[in-house]
Structure 1
Amino acid sequence: MSETTHDGAIAVSTTAAPPSPDDGLTPAELAAKYGLSVSGARPGLAHYVRQLWGRRHFILTFSQAKLTAQYSQAKLGQLWQVATPLLNAVVYFLIFGLILEADRGMPKEVYVPFLVTGVFVFTFTQTSVMSGVRSIAGNLGLVRALHFPRASLPISFALQQLQQLMYSMIVLFVIVAGFGSYPSLSWLLILPALALQFVFNTGLALIMARLGSKTPDLAQLMPFVMRTWMYASGVMFSIPMMLEDKPAWIADVLMYNPAAIYMDLVRFALIDGYGSDMLPAHVWLAALLWAVGIGFAGFVYFWKAEDRYGRG
């Protein structure tokens, strides 16, 4: 308050402002009192799941848009979705099947579907991991401009790879039938096998998305890691046949790695000459444990850093 004296001077009142009821409260207490929260703070896990469910249409649409745009500049367009893994299978057959004789006496009507199935199914995991590494680091503009659960990005990329696999499966069915394994009820087993693999791939993509968001160079390293994983998973050869003269534990370790498990389940479902004796014991339980374990761990690991993506 101020007032003017009789000689024109301005006098300032020293009367103190009335005390505020918020005096003495800490910032945290003030926020709690007025229902305020930190901008961009990580939500609780249950609330985060509800947010993701609310963005389910965005996740699906984003994955479809990415799938359509992937080969938009190529003349053959979406045909490359099938042609790329098929050409890889042809190369592997020429090198491993004919030159190196990695079939180890397996009949050609079994080995060719065996090889093509392995290439297609492993490619599903490989591309999910590689796209997961870049899902945050490669979309920083979107991450910084809009508010949405960041897990939407790696999940949508894994979903994109699942949709791409569906196109490849049509060609795989034709190849398998062309080599004498005709449709039967066992083919329905590919549905739970691929569903479990999708959950596993999504968890792995979430893990790699968090790691790749802080270490962009990881995208350059992962092709070498994935190539090593491919050679250790029996894509081009039967693990028990190739290692029959080696200690049994080596074959067991390789056969229980998740990439080998999901490939073998699809092979068992589609190929008549690929019997249960080629599968490790309790293979469905192992597939379930890998899917649930990596799926849940990957989701929680990614959620833990939700408030740090796109910053710094």
Structure 2
Amino acid sequence: MLLTEKKKKLDRFRPLPVELVKNLDDWFRIELTYSSNAIEGNTLTRFETALVVEKGLTVNGKTLKEHLEAINHAGALDFIKELVKKKRPEITEKNVLDIHAGILRKIDDANVGRYRNVGVRIAGVPVALPNPLKVPDLMRKFYQWLHNKNPDHPVKIGADAHLRFVTIHPFADRNGRTARLLLNLLLLQQGYPPALIRKEERRNYINAVGKAQLEGDTKDYYEVIYKAVDRSFNIYLEALNPQSDRGEKIMSGEKQLLRIGELAQETREPVPTIRHWTEVGVLEVKEFTDKGYQLYSRLMIEKVKEIRKLQQEEYLPLEEIRKRLIA
């Protein structure tokens, strides 16, 4: 199904239920933050990203910079959603500088919201980026192009804006994250869901951008962006079907409580293992039923997987894992 057809299908459900919109916003806030940062090398897992952003917790073994990247990106997403609510279609230079400032704040305050005055390069892509002296004029022309009436499909406009932006590379750092936020701002303004580029697609994404920059061949690049938007459409449409696994999770805000057997089934771990991990304090019980049965948050699914990963890859004892997960 084409993206336009999927948008029409989604539009037939509008206005979407308030609870569904909130749960989708919360889900995408974590997913986009995790994915965009992971593409740039941040090692926080999705579960850890949620803990940092939603709970304000510190993850042992991860750097302050990685924590700030998660907090800042989530804040930048909140900022672009506020811009969308204002219904001002023209994106200004100040908007973009504010987005960049938001994701770089407390990491490199000297360069927040400022165009670069040094030469830069893209790791893994042998493309020559513009001289820093040319950046202000190139960005002026970028905004002129952005503000011109364009008959192209909204997803193509967003993709082109992203590509033009990263080709100018106006900042000393955080160009990729800013470009993806700009892309999603443009999509959200036109009633499209955000483009969700997965961490696993990092190499294809970078290669496609490089191919478009070096050879002018945008076929692979457009395919990456269209696939990312299509993925988000599917998430929205599945969420409207509460009978689907994803719909059930999103409609419940991914906070549906699980009994110990259900948690074991979801994670493919034996019930005695879940019980033992709970007893030693690496898993937390959310609440108890009237009959005393333990109930777990769905967040524990990712935590169980993380515990098993630490055991298998780093051979850590449970006490060390408990310290590692949350300081």
| TM-score scaled by length of structure 1 | 0.24
Larger RCO, structure (CA 8 Å, separation 6 or more): 1
| TM-score scaled by length of structure 2 | 0.24
| Structure having the higher Rg | 1
